[in-house]
Amino acid sequence: FFFCTFNFTQAMFTNTSESRLVDYYFVVSCSDHGKEQTKRRLCRQSLAPPHEKEARHALFALKPKIVDRYPTRNYHDTPLLPWVARASMPRGVRARTIPPAPRYFTFTGWNVDGSKLYGACLEVFEKMDIKKQRQPVYIPKTLGFLSHYPYFYAFDVFLRCLWHVIPKKLIRLEDLLMHYFYDIPAPLPRKKIAYDLGKMKVLLACRNEFDVPIMELPIETTFAQLSKDRICMIIKLLLLEQRIAFVCTLVHELTPVCELFASLLFPLRWRHLFIPLVCKPMANALNNGVYRAQVGDEEDADDADEDED
């Protein structure tokens, strides 16, 4: 399971006064020692037979780490903390065969000063050279941005452009990052910035704090996964300042669901503590007095729970 928990507090707020559009670019995967450990463990037996058409996963996962980043030094007001790696790869780094297409997802977290941070990641796979494997084996890594602004569509375009052009050596990674960081400013309140990146057009708009909070996230996930009675119950509990835990097998669905509920409270101001990802032992410790909302099919969630054990 993946959990999101909510609890109100007056100290938390969303900060949109930063002049930087992007705070950090980062790459999350396992360390070089972890890759060697994966090779040693998988060289004993093949993950899948030669003509297997379904993906097979390793029975072990390694701890994700930030293996590359820009800038290399922390901003004093917004350090790049280790929780970003865990939020980018909550299931750990697990080798597999037959990798899927690159997958984009988002997450949220908190800065040291109480402002909300938004993460955008593109999960990709790189091939590993391992002996005795009858099928190619791949290891995941995530390319991501961390920002004070929830411009999720723009970050999706930026990351996919980066992933496609860098291997072709059309532009250096350093030059592209410098362009993202220093040539594209964060829009001022009530202002818009239109940006063209190849055939893609991106519109960055900083809304007024009194505008309806429209997130660049799919809202249909909430209404497809939760009944109308449960949606009303969650809004009621949030208005009563109660704690809620969202339970989901797919981590990329947590942010759209949770951010939508924050938006549905408009015009009330959302000042709360948001724990974006909670491990199962911690979630079990929070069972008393916490409303649990199941996002997705319950049977699928049970199966995923057994796999995690």
CA distance 283 to 38: 30
Taking residues 212-229, report their average pLDDT.
78
Of 65-74, 177-186, 190-199, least confident by mean pLDDT is 190-199
Answer whether 273's CB lies under 8 Å from 6's CB.
Answer: yes
- Would you tell me how many other CB atoms lie within 10 Å of the CB of residue 5? 20
Q: Which amino acid makes up residue 87?
A: A
Rounded to two decimals, the pTM is 0.80
Question: Is residue 28 predicted with pLDDT exceeding 50?
Answer: yes
Of residues 15 and 154, more confidence is placed in 154
> Which tokens sit at 295?
């996002």
Answer whether 7's CB lies under 8 Å from 53's CB.
Answer: no
Q: What is the pLDDT of residue 309?
A: 32
Q: What is the pLDDT of residue 278?
A: 67
Sequence spans of domains, the chain: 2-14+211-308, 24-205
Q: What is the pLDDT of residues 258-301, one digit of tens each?
A: 888 888 887 776 565 556 566 666 666 666 556 667 665 544 43
Which of 11, 10, 8 lies closest to 240, judged by CA?
8
Confidence of residue 249 (pLDDT cuts 50, 70, 90): confident
Q: What is the pLDDT of residue 290?
A: 65
Taking residues 196-219, report their average pLDDT.
71
Which of 88, 69, 89 lies closest to 79, judged by CA?
69
Taking residues 24-41, report their average pLDDT.
93
**Max mean pLDDT range (7-16, 158-167, 218-227):** 158-167
| Average predicted confidence (pLDDT) for the chain | 80
Taking residues 102-124, report their average pLDDT.
89
Question: Is residue 77 predicted with pLDDT exceeding 60?
Answer: yes
